[in-house]
Chain A
């Protein structure tokens, strides 16, 4: 029975939970705790899927006739193995692809950009600011953004990018990207990926606000929002409106974080609890 429950929990956490969570937009105002909740749901889903097989073992061992339970055990083992294999494959595939893309871009930027300490400055008038994350990280600015932003706004932008690098947000995004690919197509939730990206940006914006204040951060966003032609892809919005709205709304009621962390604790421990019950 429990292996079945665990497999069901895995599906719930992978398929139902993300869609529901993405709709709770209030939690964007507490990005750190929200991100922990998202991680917990993903980890919980993985744990539930992987625990299905070990949870079946006591059933096999305890009875005189293990074949009786085969119709419960076999699907559980199959689900576990399939998900594990998909995770490992997706992890390897995505991991190597990301690192290769970043390394190529980093090498290119190192050659064509001018160096200012650890920052790379692309000699181009279009404002842009980004970082190349990883073990050999780079902060890349264009001459255009240096010209367009006054010092406090530039500090905000740099603080935002440095928050990405120091917080290793790239690893977080990679984790979600891998889980997203590992989940079978029909069960995926694209809203989850978009929501996590947004939360990561909101979190980095917090660092910008700590450095230069809301006004400077908001103005920097405004300047870069108008800096170039809109995204070519139809229907793909940017994170700008939500981020500005979050800056305008200010910090949330503390209870939001408490709820998010409690939910996270539940999602992560429930599979372990069930596994413990199976073995009890």
Chain B
């Protein structure tokens, strides 16, 4: 799709701009000193129609979220990703799993389960054994096939 005529959502743009920066950083190697607004805007050429000022706004927002750092280069700013996607993901994982006050986290985000204490593991194993034994005893299949898997990703 060469041009997007619908008004792009900012969140979507933040992701695309971030990906451009990661790519630029990867191809640029250790000597990468960041990209200017102009350079980032140019990367959209042929991909989608986007205003220069929009790119500037997006980079500004990313900087405020600490996803991007910037340095002055003469009269222009050069933008760099704060870290690689892997490092940012690892940080996010740590933050959601550990950092927040436990009660806070359990209200803000709803986890399926994240770990158990070593004391609890014994009880859990025992209960699971009961459930499996009962299922086998009833002759029910151990796994219930039915609807197609919701997520397929390999």
The answer to whether B27 has its CB under 8 Å from any CB of chain A is no
Stretch of A16-24, A36-44, A69-77, A147-155 at the chain-chain interface = A147-155
The total of Cβ contacts below 8 Å across the A-B interface reads 193
Q: Out of B65, B93, B108, B118, which one reaches A230, CB within 8 Å? A: B118
A236 and B120 alpha carbons, distance in the complex (Å): 11
Decide yes or no: A119 and B124 within 8 Å by CB, A130-B109, A248-B131 being known contacts: no
Contact of B116 with A124 in the complex, beta carbons under 8 Å? no
Give the number of residues in B that approach A within 8 Å (Cβ atoms): 56
Question: What separation, in Å, do the CA atoms of A226 and B123 have in the docked complex?
Answer: 13
- Alpha-carbon separation in the docked complex, A128 to B97 (Å): 9
**A197 to B102, alpha carbons, bound, how many Å?**
12
B109 contact set on A, CB distance < 8 A: 102, 105, 130-133
Interface of B is mostly: helix
Distance in angstroms from A275 CB to nearest chain B CB is 32
Interface contact B110-A155, CB-CB below 8 Å: no
User: CB < 8 Å: which of A126, A141, A211, A244 contacts B128?
Assistant: A244
B residues apposed to A, CB below 8 Å: 11, 14-15, 18, 65, 67, 85-86, 88-90, 92-93, 96-98, 102-104, 106-121, 123-125, 127-128, 130-132, 134-135, 140, 142-147, 149-151, 153
For this complex, 6 residue pairs linking A to B, each with C-beta atoms less than 8 Å apart, are A122-B89, A154-B149, A154-B151, A215-B131, A224-B115, A228-B97
**Residues of A at under 8 Å CB distance from B?**
98, 101-102, 104-105, 107-113, 116, 119, 121-124, 126, 128-133, 141-143, 146, 150-152, 154-155, 157-158, 160-161, 164, 169-170, 173-174, 177, 193, 197, 200, 204, 211-216, 218-222, 224-233, 236-241, 243-245, 247-248
